[in-house]
Chains A and B, each alone.
Chain A
Amino acid sequence: MPNSATIRITRYHDRAILPQVETGVDNLAGNIVVRMRRLVPKRSFRLYDSIEKLPTTVTGSKVKGGVRVGGKSVRGKYVGYHLMVDKGTSRMAAQPYIRPALYQSRSGDLRVKVSE
């Protein structure tokens, strides 16, 4: 059974500016979630609902945030096809939504907080 796919955002910084970096990483992860949800195919909305922002954490001088998709049950059905949808298979064309959400990132994503 396939696991979830995770985008990890990790930054190391001087402790003096860690609060600002933490906010930026959290904003970036939130923007990626919004873009993934805009792009993801929406047949049953299970894949859509499996996209979630991971809590942004600070450990020492490391700030870690992320986005997770698939690998869990949504409304009674297991969502294990998240990578097949993104990359396609020999029998199905790709409907990319993970990589485009990353590629469309801009520097402004660090400053803009979005509501999920």
Chain B
Amino acid sequence: MTPPVPAGPYPPTNELVAVAWLSQRVAGLTAAIVGTGLPKDTTKWADTGFLQVQALPSGTAEVDLPIRRPRLQLDGWATANTDGTSSSIKPPWNLANRLLELVRIATEDAQTGYYGRPVDLPANYTAARVQAAYFITEPERVLDDPSGYARFTVDLALDWVRA
């Protein structure tokens, strides 16, 4: 018989920490428009765009220090085609790119308190402290999306520890 899942609190994970840091620290982003999956209901994020976070199977495993150094793919999404019927509406490329630039501004500012303070994770997860975040590529326009959405993508490196 499979033993029950042990009661929490559970340790933080790379994607949870990234979503929490982006939605709680980056000015202009909220928890409603940052997540690991793109919501199908475009009316919920058509005005603001959506920032999708996906972990990459890479990064540096630290042997001596309890620090995580994952790399993540950030996708800024935007659409003006909320009813899903028209394919002739021009995708709002600038809105998609702007989301990534908001993140870049946060990564470049070490004085304003973006780093070091614990970020709150979902219930039953312990907090984490992001120590550094930086782009390792430049934002890239991704064409030919099957839904016709505007999309920019970038890879982000994140250094974090358990709080």
A9 within 8 Å of B (CB atoms): no
B:126-152 near A, CB below 8 Å: 142, 144-147, 149, 151
Is chain A's interface secondary structure helix, strand, loop, or mixed overall? loop
Q: Which residue of A lies closest to B54 (CB)?
A: A94
Give the number of chain B interface residues (Cβ < 8 Å): 20
Contact B146 A90 (CB under 8 A): yes
B38 within 8 Å of A (CB atoms): yes
Which listed residue (A39, A88, A99, A104) contacts B155, Cβ 8 A? Answer: A99
A100 within 8 Å of B (CB atoms): yes
Contacts of A89 in B (CB 8 A): 145-147
Contact with B along A30-57 (1 / 0, CB 8 A): 0000000001000000000000000000
A91 within 8 Å of B (CB atoms): yes
A87 within 8 Å of B (CB atoms): yes
B159 within 8 Å of A (CB atoms): no
Contacts of A103 in B (CB 8 A): 56, 58-59, 71
Contacts of B146 in A (CB 8 A): 89-91
Nearest Cβ distance between residue B158 and chain A, in whole angstroms?
A: 13
Give the number of chain A interface residues (Cβ < 8 Å): 14
Contact B38 A96 (CB under 8 A): no
A2 and B143 alpha carbons, distance in the complex (Å): 11
Contacts of B59 in A (CB 8 A): 103
Interface residues of A (CB under 8 A from B): 2, 39, 87-91, 93-94, 96, 99-100, 103-104
Interface residues of B (CB under 8 A from A): 37-38, 54, 56-59, 71, 73, 75, 77, 142, 144-147, 149, 151, 153, 155
Q: List 13 A-B contacts (CB under 8 A).
A: A2-B144, A88-B73, A89-B146, A89-B147, A90-B145, A90-B151, A91-B146, A94-B54, A96-B58, A99-B58, A100-B56, A103-B58, A103-B71
Given contacts A99-B58, A103-B58, A103-B71, 11 further A-B contacts (CB under 8 A): A87-B142, A88-B54, A89-B146, A89-B147, A90-B145, A90-B146, A91-B146, A93-B37, A93-B54, A96-B73, A103-B56
